[in-house]
Chains A and B, each alone.
Chain A
């Protein structure tokens, strides 16, 4: 697949502090790439370098085939940016903000008007298009800047904490829009520290800690990779002795928790098959069976703690 973002040895130094320390990664066409990290890890600085807002101190960043240092305008023409803080002009109306964006991206007036109407309808602001942005709620402002970032139908969208501090309605609307955009072919670079959001939305995530990348992989693979011992929770319709379960193939231990057994296994697939066979052979019907995989939160915490220590 074509790499839409190619970051190589990206570095940013503020005074004596290295905010981003020689990080390298690629984002492929059509991908939703989540960029995760604790506060101050270097997420926003990385996004600002990739979008040409601040200069790189070392390394290279190629966006849609354009070097962000030597061809910033050509690169910016093809991507949109949704920053963490709403930065629409509050003294202008939503319509005026969109028309300004249309002009800054070189759109014909009629095209800008058509896109503005469509986008305001899409984000639910068409009826309030002539109202000044200063009267908008945080969620409305965030939806507006998403519309502003999409005015020129970008191939790539950068979003920095797009749902931070928003109500459920606005959050769901934005996430649904991002999914739709991605299905239509837009590549998305999403900075967030909302693990659930990244887990549900992203094809791959990169975790940054103290300016360095500590892991890049698919969310499910990251979760599995951090814990080699898997947990399975199972309950039967009658009492089962614990030692009967510990002797099963793939099972390394069994602990009673209420009416359930929490089983540890070094091979989840083998253990589940053994439990099913045990259930059939002993006439003990399985009532519930859950695999307790580590969450992305667990993966994130483990990886960032390992990097810290």
Chain B
């Protein structure tokens, strides 16, 4: 088999994803953070006295959970591996930068999906009815890929100090949550807020989750899916291109 061919590189990306899951994701603190954070955020809003309907809260919670978990660990993997010199090991193996990035994306996608499923189960356990299960599943898969690409994009600055990346990551991630219809429904947002929301992939995912649970939506459903798909594609290509440029500066 040609090691540089598509299937050869996909196999290597899968090997990298398994390595990431074993080393970075299947850790007690990471799993506990992944499960407890959405639960506590949900409780904070549920008991906060804002009189928001449960279906709205759960939709926002699912959006937030997937966004935070899929972008939680991936931005720090490159800096960690750069400082431990294991990135140099990968770079000297017959693996392209694209395959390394894709492997990291697969791991964060799977982690995001796994934790988000727990949130959905919480919603169902609280009596929420799921109207469009297939749509929810498709939305979670697509958005997990999209958010993983965002996570990897945050790792582009060629620093090997994880805390620098995590700070940058928080500076970008938290404002994004506030403009994406999680805490304030898109229909209640001021016009400037809506303009910002249009540029956030999280807005479209939250809209799809809301549609799956309640049947309501702000954007047309197929627009949500198409925009999420475009975001995923563009962010993945841009992330791979930028990592290819910055990777040598980590060595």
Contacts and interface: CB of A to CB of B under 8 A. Distances in A.
Contacts of B9: 73
B12 A103 contact: yes
B191 interface: no
A53 B93 contact: no
A55 B249 CA distance: 10
A267 to B, nearest CB: 48
B15 A104 contact: yes
Contacts of B171: none
A87 B93 CA distance: 12
Among all A-B residue pairs, the 6 with the closest Cβ atoms: A103-B15, A73-B4, A87-B85, A76-B94, A77-B94, A81-B92
A71 B4 contact: yes
Interface of A: 48, 51-55, 71-74, 76-77, 81, 83, 85, 87-92, 96, 100-101, 103-106, 148
Contacts of B85: 83, 85, 87
Contact of A74 (B4, B88, B90, B92): B4
- For chain B, give the interface size range: 20 to 34
Label chain A's interface by main secondary structure: loop
B88 A53 contact: yes
A118 to B, nearest CB: 20
Contacts of B16: 104
B251 interface: yes
Given A92-B23, A100-B15, A104-B95, 18 more contacts: A48-B88, A54-B248, A73-B3, A73-B94, A73-B96, A74-B4, A76-B92, A76-B93, A76-B94, A77-B3, A83-B88, A85-B85, A87-B84, A87-B86, A89-B86, A100-B19, A103-B18, A105-B94
B50 interface: no
6 contacts: A48-B88, A54-B248, A76-B93, A77-B3, A77-B94, A100-B18
Contact of B93 (A89, A90, A105): A105
A7 B11 CA distance: 31
A104 B248 contact: no
Nearest to B89: A87
A106 B4 CA distance: 11
A10 to B, nearest CB: 15
Interface string B65-94: 000000000000000000011101111111
Nearest to B91: A53
B193 interface: no
A87 B95 CA distance: 16
Contacts of B4: 71, 73-74
B32 interface: no
A81 B14 CA distance: 22
B1 interface: yes
A267 B66 CA distance: 81
B220 interface: no
A48 B85 CA distance: 13
Contact of A89 (B3, B8, B19): B19
B160 to A, nearest CB: 13
Contact of A52 (B8, B12, B18, B92): B92
Contact of A54 (B89, B90, B251): B251
Interface string B93-114: 1111000000000000000000
A89 B93 CA distance: 14
Nearest to B5: A73
B93 A91 contact: no
A179 to B, nearest CB: 23
B82 to A, nearest CB: 11
A96 B86 CA distance: 14
Interface string B179-220: 000000000000000000000000000000000000000000
Contacts of A100: 15, 18-19
A92 B89 CA distance: 14
A89 B23 CA distance: 9
A309 to B, nearest CB: 33
